[in-house]
């Protein structure tokens, strides 16, 4: 177990193993998202109350899931970096931030657009909406903080600390709909309980959620590999790799 973690922490080993894993996640992401899109847009029945505007759920919910999961992953990676000084964890955290910010933006945007026909307003200072907006600012803060230092090590540590402190916002987002029941409805999609919607609506949503998660893993692997090449460009194994690829 420990030797596995140490190997995973070695950029060279990570670079090799991620090359093998990556294609599977790309294939899964593309397959699930394409099928989920066609099913969700064309074949899922219209909602009896919301009509066709409910089809926004297929991008809104997966994006909101990722927005939160990516922040937690970033905080865990930050902790691993701070405690064990594993550089790969910091590289992964660095490349996760922009994707997380993008997903937070997507969930806020699609939520606002969905709110117009459904709630009659695109924005309200509802607890869920406000805590998601704070999440977006936290992501932007992490990205800005990383860019604000000339020393890479200081930048990495500052970004890790902000991610670890900011993660307190995640349970607030999760439970906001139960603690302050105002505008946003409680969770409609859970794995643990029986779905509250017909299978024809729920299965494409499940596919989109899994597809988005696969996309997150695939993109993080790919960009962590890029980050390894950038930061380790002077190491012998990278030079040998370039010679071989010539």
Partner 1 sequence: MAFDSFAAFIAMGGHAPYVWSSWVITLLLILGLVWHARFERRQLVESLKRRARRERARQQQGEQATVYPVDQGESS
Question: 110 or 176, CB closer to partner 1?
Answer: 110
Pairs from 121-130 (Cβ < 8 Å, separation ≥ 24): 124/182, 124/183, 126/180, 126/182, 126/183, 126/184, 127/172, 127/176, 127/177, 127/179, 127/180, 127/182, 127/184, 128/173, 128/176, 128/177, 128/183, 128/184, 129/183, 129/184
Residues 197-216 that bind partner 1 (CB under 8 A): 215
Residue from the set 51, 171, 186, 198 that interacts with partner 1 by CB under 8 A: 51
Residue 203: closest CA among 11, 39, 45: 39
Contact stretch for partner 1 (CB under 8 A) within 133-141, 168-176, 187-195, 238-246: 238-246
Question: Which tokens go with 221?
Answer: 């692997």
Near partner 1 in 88-147, by CB under 8 A:
98-99, 102, 105-106, 109-110, 113-114, 116-117
Q: How far is CA 53 from CA 162, 185, 188, 189, in A?
A: 37, 16, 16, 17
CB of 10 to partner 1, least distance (A): 19
Of the pair 64, 75, the CB lying nearest partner 1 is at: 64
Q: Smaller CB distance to partner 1: residue 33 or 132?
A: 33
Residues in touch with partner 1 (CB under 8 A): 33, 37, 41-46, 51-53, 55-56, 59-60, 63, 98-99, 102, 105-106, 109-110, 113-114, 116-117, 215, 219, 222-223, 225-226, 229-230, 233, 238-239, 242-243, 245-246
């Amino acid at each position: 177990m420990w030797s596995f973690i140490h190997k995973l922490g070695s950029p060279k080993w990570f670079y090799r193993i991620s090359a093998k894993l990556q294609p599977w996640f790309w294939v899964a992401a593309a397959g699930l998202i394409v099928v989920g899109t066609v099913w969700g847009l064309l074949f899922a029945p219209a909602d009896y109350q919301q009509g066709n505007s409910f089809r926004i759920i297929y991008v809104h919910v997966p994006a909101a899931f990722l927005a939160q999961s990516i922040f937690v992953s970033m905080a865990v990676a930050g902790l691993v970096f701070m405690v064990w000084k594993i550089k790969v964890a910091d590289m992964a955290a660095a490349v996760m931030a922009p994707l997380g910010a993008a997903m937070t933006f997507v969930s806020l945007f699609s939520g606002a657009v969905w709110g117009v026909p459904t709630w009659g307003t695109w924005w309200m200072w509802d607890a869920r909406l406000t805590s998601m907006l704070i999440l977006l600012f936290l992501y932007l803060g992490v990205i800005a903080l990383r860019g604000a230092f000339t020393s890479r090590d200081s930048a990495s540590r500052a970004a890790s600390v902000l991610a670890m402190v900011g993660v307190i916002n995640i349970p607030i987002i999760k439970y906001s709909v139960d603690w302050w029941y105002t505008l946003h409805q409680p969770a409609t999609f859970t794995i643990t309980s029986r779905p509250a919607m017909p299978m024809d609506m729920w299965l494409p949503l499940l596919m989109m959620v899994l597809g988005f998660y696969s996309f997150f893993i695939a993109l993080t692997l790919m960009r962590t590999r890029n980050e390894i090449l950038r930061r380790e460009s002077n190491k012998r194994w990278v030079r040998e790799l370039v010679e071989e690829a010539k």
